[in-house]
Structure 1
Amino acid sequence: MPKYRTVRLDTPGARARLNEARLYLAAAELLDLGASAENKVAGSNAILAGVAAADAICGLVLGERSSGDDHAQAVTLLRRATHPSTKAANSLRRLLTRKTPVQYGTDAISASDASDLIAWARDIVGEAEARDR
């Protein structure tokens, strides 16, 4: 079994991360997509929403969250915390694949790409909300 770099995340902490995820997602959804800057900011907020929601799921289910720099580890940990039929782990993988170019790159992203990022974030936030019931 692989060794994961994790930190403890109790239920109140997981709920705080879920609240942050909701706020990041709301910020992403507020922007009018089309202009390059808006697309990047919306995409970046969507990525932050997905990461925060993944942390919330892992905290609620496993009592810990990923703390390493290895994005694959975060996806694997989320996969452990969710049912295989959920979209959450695949959506997180897609978001993390785009993290560096969207958040740190200088190239523009399209409105379509930003919409995809928002949709993937919604998948993870929705799964986190279902786990918090």
Structure 2
Amino acid sequence: MTPPAARTQDCNRAQATVRLGQARAFLDVAELVGAESDELANPNVSAALAVLAGIVAADAACCAALGQRSRGQDHRQAIQLITEAGDDGRTLARALGRLLDVKDGAHYGMVFVSSQQAKAAIRHAGTLVDGAARALDR
């Protein structure tokens, strides 16, 4: 059976700039929450925010480089699209894949995300935010 075609939406550099600003805000808050160590939920919250930062940064990178972003129900469809977003595409795709690996646990799960997983999620989100910024600089 052939997988369904990825759904996309046209977008432009101005929208990429807005999405990059949103991604940076999510990442900033993820880092702030991740720095707190007094509540058990903080790694989950930090990881959840990092996942959002990465997804939004992927949108920004794709809008800047390709003029379209993924709009499918499955965020994993964005992985294939972002591979086409310039020289950083494969690196960004790996970072997005790793973030999406923790998405369900961070957003919906009853299993706690470890502090190490949250820190890794923040690093992967940072990779995507930096890649989106480079795509906008081109």
- Identity, % of aligned pairs? 36
Aligned residues: 132
CA contact (8 A) 1:82 1:88 kept: no
Which residue type is aligned with residue 68 of structure 1?
G
By how many angstroms is 1:84 displaced?
5.7
* 1:1-133 map, 5 Å: 3-31=5-33, 32-34=35-37, 35-83=39-87, 87-133=91-137
Structure 2: any 5+ residue segments left out of the alignment?
Answer: none
CA offsets, 1:12-63, max 9 Å, x none? 1111100000000000111225432111111011000000000000000111
CA contact (8 A) 1:58 1:77 kept: yes
Q: Distance in 2 between matches of 1:113 and 1:97?
A: 10
CA contact (8 A) 2:47 2:122 kept: yes
CA contact (8 A) 1:51 1:92 kept: yes
Which residue type is aligned with residue 105 of structure 2?
P
Q: 1:85 to 1:51 in 2, by over 3 A?
A: closer
Q: Distance in 2 between matches of 1:132 and 1:64?
A: 14
